């Protein structure tokens, strides 16, 4: 079961007003008000779901204008169809309004309470009788509109009380659907005090409303509030789209091939919610985005674009969007928007006016919408010099919070000595208020770690004795950095540039005398001319295009205090004979040697990232002792054959990335005992055959074995592991799971099976009480005649599960075992003939993904509930029998290969 948001919403305009209610309840009072609906309403309220229920028992003949507005201002409508629903003209008018709102993007969940859905759909029984009586009395078009609304809503997959064990369980099903909808619609943080945002957002929204173009460009200088406005717009209208994604900081993130591929994968993940989807290369990524998203109505924000190629790498020529999709672009470059042509409408963001600027400064400096009376003159003097730039007002306000009047006066006098155009110098005043460790944290982030996970950066800076837990929070409090989506550290580009300017001023003419190097030209000069010094703390070698750099083997010998060495997109032609022993981060993509220099002592390493390198781990770890090491990445290493003992040398590893290590065959037993290990990814290690015999690491949250097609045995789980949330076993040769799989008590997502072999599940599979997503490929067999408490569940590859088996598994996005109560189903390579013939029994199935055209041809008939068949991966789809089958599906079909 699922909420359905109508794709036909493209024919209608947005409703831009913020939604007042999460849920609107439509029901026939005399049937359900004091029983089922009352219980449902209370349960929704207990989940903090803002629900409207009409308790006005004395109704007139016509539905009130106020109630129509309530329906419009709700995100979701729940329609409770009961025996006498159609006898109420009021209910039917509500229904027509709900259908109207559905076409504008509102989600609708039909609930069939003691009534068969077919009776509503076909308007038989009590529904047919009630409508006939209405026709006798009214004899006008209204009854026809009621009939059409009933038919449309009854064809949406909903919740059917007859299939539940109890009314309580039925209500829990509805709650889970609504809760999942709310979780998938998380809003972006806009601003602590969004002063001046609303009027600007409304202006742009009216532009979106009146313009049929796909692209809206928002431009203006740095710090003016473009990203903040885009986030507010995104939050207000995302409910009106089938999928949505906000991509921040494209200018910073798209400088390399790997970064651009990551952006493509993020876009697909955010909209399709498929974590196993990989792009491979940029050209393929563009095609995948077009093929997978062209039929969807999407909302996409591309934030901080500075080159046309960044748009093309994500969207190609931008001519494939479905009707009424919207792309919002923020940029400093007005001309870039002009190159997009007539499909792009533009909006220039202006600075805050005097009143807005005073309010924003006051909110941060005084936590009030206006300054204290005796501070008004000083506040106005600040505004005069900032000239309405929101970022500067936020930074200065946070810096002056709690200061005395003499301190304010001193600060204002300092601002007044700085010319207006040097706004970065105004922002630098906040930097000057930091202590030494906080300054180092700020500069390290500005030069090396923007966009990195907060926890990863904390581990690194903690090894530098910078006390980052406190220091990072100080920077957040002073508005110098923020923590964004997925817990990544972000910094406004003006602040990042300010930090880098501070470093460059350490030695304007001699980059080898600076503390940090990140500019490719500066790094090239220092390394090729061997002009480094002990002052250098970190180096990032990253070329905009793949390049080669010829270095002397001892070029790092002068840099005794080097802590960060990060290399990407650069081929170092000669190997190094020396690495500083102070290194904390060694991040080198394509490292050219099979081992680290023999004179290097890696005791202080925290992160060892060597994707696509030639390192062989048996040599590396024979002598390595890294008690501080928390992150290891050997992604795409084609030289590793065995992962040796890590427990004695690197006991504190949290992340172990071995994706695409195609020669890896064996993993030492010690890996299963790494107590701190949280993420372990072995995606597409196609030669892997031997895992540890057991896993006892209680910190593990993710274990990925997708594509390990020679792996036949899954390790034993002798102890309870409640932290493991996601286990991926797809496309392996594992034919059975150990009974101890039941010890993964916290598991929420499980991908099982293979395209080539059958898989037998143990009875302990039913102990996974938190399981929310279960994906099955191939002929996966479930144990028969298993008893859960007093409930018996006779389960095989095509029968329904008892709800006592997996209480969290009622509302899957893509449930692929073809349970008779499932709504979405994946059938890829299944050889079960009974399954093919019995698919008609799945009377709530509305989505079918098929990877084998022969399978589709042999299905005799599809269920009436079917709405979408995706067979885009089938090779041949041109038989006459297949065409007849396709005609059974009334709505969208993804059959792009059908000739």
Catalytic residue among 83, 94, 265, 359: 94
Q: Is the dihedral of CA 559, 560, 562, 565 positive or negative?
A: positive
- The half-sphere exposure of 478 on its side-chain side, counting CA atoms within 13 A, is 22
Q: Which helix (H) or strand (E) holds 107?
A: strand 107-112
Give CA–CA dist 620/616, Å, rounded. Answer: 6
- Residues near 642 by Cβ (< 8 Å), separated by ≥ 6? 617, 618, 664, 665, 666, 667, 668
Q: Which helix (H) or strand (E) holds 400?
A: helix 390-400
Give CA–CA dist 100/103, Å, rounded. Answer: 5
Active site residue 748: no
Give CA–CA dist 324/298, Å, rounded. Answer: 8
Give CA–CA dist 87/134, Å, rounded. Answer: 8
Q: Is 279 helix (H, G, I), strand (E, B) or coil?
A: coil
Instruction: Find the distance separating the first CA and the last CA of the chain, reported in whole Å.
Output: 32
Reading phi first (left if > 0) and then psi (alpha if -120 to 50, else beta), residue 580 is in beta
DSSP line for 717-752: --S---S--EEE-TTS---B--GGGGG-TT--EEEE
Residue with tokens 């494939």: 320
Angle, CA of 255, 300 and 6, to the nearest 5°: 155
Tokens at residue 203, please? 């202006």
Q: Is 76 helix (H, G, I), strand (E, B) or coil?
A: strand
- The half-sphere exposure of 97 on its side-chain side, counting CA atoms within 13 A, is 25
Nearest to 840 by CA among 814, 809, 875, 865: 865
CB 641 within 8 A of CB 619: no
Q: Is the dihedral of CA 762, 766, 768, 770 positive or negative?
A: positive
Tokens at residue 125, please? 């029984």
Annotated catalytic residues are 94
């Amino acid at each position: 079961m699922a909420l359905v948001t109508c794709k036909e919403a493209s024919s209608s305009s947005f409703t831009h007003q913020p939604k007042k209610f999460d849920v609107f309840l439509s029901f026939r009072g005399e049937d359900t008000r004091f029983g089922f609906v009352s219980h449902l309403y209370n349960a929704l309220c207990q989940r903090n779901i803002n629900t409207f229920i009409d308790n006005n028992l004395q109704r007139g003949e016509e539905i009130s204008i106020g109630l129509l507005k309530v329906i419009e201002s709700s995100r979701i409508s729940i329609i409770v169809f009961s025996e006498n629903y159609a006898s109420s003209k009021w209910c039917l008018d509500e229904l027509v309004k709900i259908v109207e709102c559905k076409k504008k993007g509102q989600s609708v969940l039909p609930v069939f309470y003691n009534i068969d859905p077919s009776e509503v759909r076909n308007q038989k029984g009590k529904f047919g009788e009630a409508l006939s009586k209405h026709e006798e009395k009214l004899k006008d078009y209204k009854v026809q509109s009621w009939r059409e609304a009933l038919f449309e809503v009854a064809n949406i997959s909903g919740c059917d009380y007859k299939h539940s064990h109890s009314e309580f369980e039925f209500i829990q099903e509805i709650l889970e659907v609504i809760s999942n909808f709310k979780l998938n619609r998380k809003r972006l943080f806009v601003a602590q005090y969004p002063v001046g945002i609303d009027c600007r957002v409304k202006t742009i929204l009216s532009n979106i409303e009146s313009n049929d173009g796909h692209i809206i460009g928002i431009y203006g200088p740095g710090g003016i509030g473009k990203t903040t406005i885009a986030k507010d717009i995104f939050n207000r209208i995302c409910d009106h789209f089938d999928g949505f994604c906000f991509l921040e900081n494209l200018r910073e993130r798209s400088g390399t091939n790997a970064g651009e591929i990551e952006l493509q994968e993020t876009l697909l993940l955010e909209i399709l919610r498929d974590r196993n989807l990989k792009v491979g290369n940029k050209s393929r990524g563009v095609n995948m985005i077009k093929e997978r998203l062209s039929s969807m109505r999407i909302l996409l924000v591309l934030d901080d674009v500075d080159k046309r190629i960044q748009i093309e790498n994500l969207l190609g020529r931008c001519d494939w969007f479905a009707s009424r999709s919207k792309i919002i672009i923020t940029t400093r470059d007005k001309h870039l928007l002009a190159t997009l042509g007539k499909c792009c409408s533009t909006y220039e963001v202006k600075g805050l006016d005097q009143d807005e600027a005073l309010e924003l400064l006051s909110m941060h400096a005084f936590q009030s919408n206006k300054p204290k009376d005796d501070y008004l003159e000083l506040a106005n003097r600040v505004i005069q010099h900032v000239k309405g730039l929101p970022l500067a007002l936020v930074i200065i306000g946070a810096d002056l919070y709690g200061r005395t009047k003499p301190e304010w006066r001193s600060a204002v006098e300092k601002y007044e000595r700085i010319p207006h155009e040097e706004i970065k110098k105004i922002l630098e005043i906040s930097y000057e208020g930091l202590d030494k460790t906080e300054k180092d944290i700020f500069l390290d982030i500005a030069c090396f770690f923007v966009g990195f996970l907060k926890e990863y950066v904390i581990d690194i800076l903690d090894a530098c004795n910078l006390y980052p837990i406190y220091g990072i929070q100080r920077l957040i409090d002073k508005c110098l950095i923020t923590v964004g989506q997925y817990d990544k550290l972000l910094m406004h580009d003006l602040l990042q540039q300010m930090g880098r300017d501070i470093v460059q001023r350490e030695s304007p003419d001699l980059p080898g005398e600076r503390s940090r190097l990140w500019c490719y030209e500066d790094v090239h000069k220092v390394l090729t001319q061997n002009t480094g010094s002990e002052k250098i703390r970190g180096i990032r070698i990253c070329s905009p295009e793949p390049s080669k750099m010829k270095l002397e083997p001892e070029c790092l010998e002068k840099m005794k205090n080097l802590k960060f060495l990060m290399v990407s997109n650069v081929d170092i032609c000669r190997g190094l004979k020396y690495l500083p022993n102070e290194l904390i981060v060694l991040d080198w993509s394509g490292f050219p040697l099979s081992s680290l220099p023999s004179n290097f002592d890696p005791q202080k390493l925290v992160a060892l990232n060597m994707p696509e390198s030639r390192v062989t781990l048996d040599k590396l770890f024979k002598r390595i002792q890294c008690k501080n090491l928390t992150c290891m990445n050997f992604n795409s290493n084609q030289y590793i054959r065995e992962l040796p003992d890590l427990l004695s040398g690197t006991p504190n590893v949290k992340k172990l990335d071995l994706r695409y290590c195609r020669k890896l065959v064996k993993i030492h037993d010690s890996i299963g005992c790494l107590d701190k290990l949280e993420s372990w990814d072995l995606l597409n290690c196609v030669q892997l055959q031997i895992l540890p015999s057991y896993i006892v690491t209680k910190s593990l949250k993710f274990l990925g074995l997708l594509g390990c097609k020679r792996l036949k045995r899954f390790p034993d789980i002798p102890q309870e592991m409640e932290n493991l949330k996601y286990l991926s076993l797809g496309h392996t040769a594992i034919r059975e799971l150990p009974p101890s799989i039941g010890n993964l008590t916290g598991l929420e997502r499980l991908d099982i099976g293979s395209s080539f072999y059958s898989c037998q599940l143990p009875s302990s599979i039913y102990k996974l009480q938190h399981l929310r997503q279960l994906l099955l490929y191939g002929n996966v067999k479930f144990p028969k005649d298993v008893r859960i408490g007093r409930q018996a569940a006779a389960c095989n590859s095509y029968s329904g599960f008892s709800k006592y088996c997996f209480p969290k598994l009622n509302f899957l996005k893509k449930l692929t075992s073809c349970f008779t109560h499932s709504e979405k189903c994946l059938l890829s390579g299944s050889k079960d003939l009974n399954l093919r013939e019995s698919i008609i029994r799945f009377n709530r199935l509305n989505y079918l993904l098929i990877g084998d055209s022969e399978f589709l041809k042999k299905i005799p008939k599809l269920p009436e509930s079917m709405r979408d068949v995706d067979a885009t991966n089938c090779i041949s789809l041109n038989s006459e029998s297949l065409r007849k089958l396709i005609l059974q599906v009334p709505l969208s079909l993804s059959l792009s290969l059908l000739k």
